Amino acid sequence: MELQELLKKLCSTCDPTERLVSLALNVSKASPPHPEGRGFHSSRLLSWLGSEEHPLTLREILRGVSGKMELHIETELRPETEGLFVVAGPGLWESFELAVPIKDFLYVGPTPCIAPLLEALTRMPRAYVIRFDQQEGILDEVSGGVRREIERIPSVPVERDAQHQMSGHSARNQAGSGRPATRMGGGGRDRYEYCVEETVEAMLHQAADRVQTLQQKAPSESIYAFGDRKHFPYFRDRLPATLRSQAIHLGPLPHRHEELLGKRIAEEQDSRVRNRVEADILEFQSRQAEQCYVASGPEVILPLLDTGKVARVFLDPGDPLPGTKCISCGSRGGACGHPLAATSMTQEVVSHALLHPPLPLTFVAPGAAWLKESGGMTALLSEKGIHGRR
Ligand SMILES: [Zn+2]
């Protein structure tokens, strides 16, 4: 199942016995560095889930999933995985291995709470990468935090003019028809007097055209290039104007240390995401200072979701914001008189964003004081003349 479809399915999942466990575990090798490796994380998980701090009923539910999680960590976890997110419950087990670290998180209720998963996914956006030297260009796609090669484009010698191309062509034909090889003398050799610059230019043009096609099928926000800075403009300037600003030269091609490439890309992706979150927050705060189309607190924001007036919601992915909701009619005020069920108000927003797009979300760094003071959730509202930027 496609990731988006799976996320939507999880958002529509409900267990009336309230035994759905959503759990994020940071399995990053870097934090903390530990000689026991994965074993460290599974024993940390077991003592966390089995902690006497949890009420007895919760501990019993957690016992039902801890064994399977332990097994997953010790036998199935991919070496490059930095974060693990699991949704588990009666007849349900979905695990997501993430290429970025994730903060530990636990929520048990009638629905999953996938905000931490969604936040981690925003830190692993799709990108295209071109690595080039004079011999060839290699196109990669980064998706889900994993880089894989799509295509190699070799530099093919560019012939100087049509006359040479013709003589070369006829020389090849003659050789193929059994004529003595000596006939491929002077004129044939001329074909290889090509210009390196033209060859690299043609190869990078071809790569740019290919990236443009890829972008149409699966858009990305970033196109990263590694190679000679002098030749980079051949690639960038060939792209259509709309894509040109996305193309960033990240440095020379690291020939010996491939891992530097991944590290450089991860840093760039990370700073892009951080800058965007900061810009979103600044926009909210300046509008809040003017009291201009903003809303604060889940009680205000949730009823507005269906009106189409919410342009962006700011959430703390690590805070489920427990609330209640009517089982029969779905209303949250409690005025209907029906019995109420537990709910995560963060999940209500995430679910709405996935099932009724577009609703842009900004995940704020956990524990931000300004967000807590505003009830743990804020929103930009759209009114005439004021729209969400994306
Ligand atoms: Zn009701």
Q: What is the mean pLDDT of each run of 10 residues along the chain (390 residues)?
A: 93 92 90 67 92 94 94 90 95 95 95 97 96 96 92 82 48 42 47 73 97 96 96 98 96 86 93 96 95 94 92 97 84 79 94 95 94 96 58
Which residues, 6+ apart, have CB-to-CB distance to 292 below 8 Å?
A: 386
Which residues, 6+ apart, have CB-to-CB distance to 21 below 8 Å?
A: 61, 62, 65, 86, 87, 88, 89, 106, 107, 108
Q: What is the distance in A from the centroid of ligand 1 to the CA of 343?
A: 14
Q: What is the distance in A from the centroid of ligand 1 to the CA of 303?
A: 14
Backbone angles phi, psi at 247, to 5 degrees: -80, 120
Q: What is the distance in A from the centroid of ligand 1 to the CA of 339?
A: 7
Q: What is the distance in A from the centroid of ligand 1 to the CA of 79?
A: 48
CATH architecture of the domain 293-381 equals: 2-Layer Sandwich (3.30)
- Is there a common fold for 3-122 and 127-178+186-273? no
Q: What is the distance in A from the centroid of ligand 1 to the CA of 294?
A: 28
Q: What is the distance in A from the centroid of ligand 1 to the CA of 301?
A: 19
CATH T-level fold of 3-122: 3.30.960
Q: What is the distance in A from the centroid of ligand 1 to the CA of 161?
A: 79
Q: What is the distance in A from the centroid of ligand 1 to the CA of 328?
A: 5
Q: What is the distance in A from the centroid of ligand 1 to the CA of 326?
A: 5
Q: What is the distance in A from the centroid of ligand 1 to the CA of 334?
A: 7
User: Residue 105 in contact with residue 22, Cβ under 8 Å?
Assistant: yes
Sorted by where each begins, the domain ranges of the chain are: 3-122, 127-178+186-273, 293-381
Q: What is the distance in A from the centroid of ligand 1 to the CA of 345?
A: 17
CATH superfamily of 127-178+186-273: eRF1 domain 2 (3.30.420.60)
Q: What is the distance in A from the centroid of ligand 1 to the CA of 338?
A: 5
Q: What is the distance in A from the centroid of ligand 1 to the CA of 341?
A: 10
Q: What is the distance in A from the centroid of ligand 1 to the CA of 349?
A: 19
Q: What is the distance in A from the centroid of ligand 1 to the CA of 65?
A: 32
Neighbours of 376 (CB within 10 A): 20
pLDDT value at residue 51: 93
pLDDT value at residue 16: 87
Which residues, 6+ apart, have CB-to-CB distance to 230 below 8 Å?
A: none
Q: What is the distance in A from the centroid of ligand 1 to the CA of 58?
A: 27
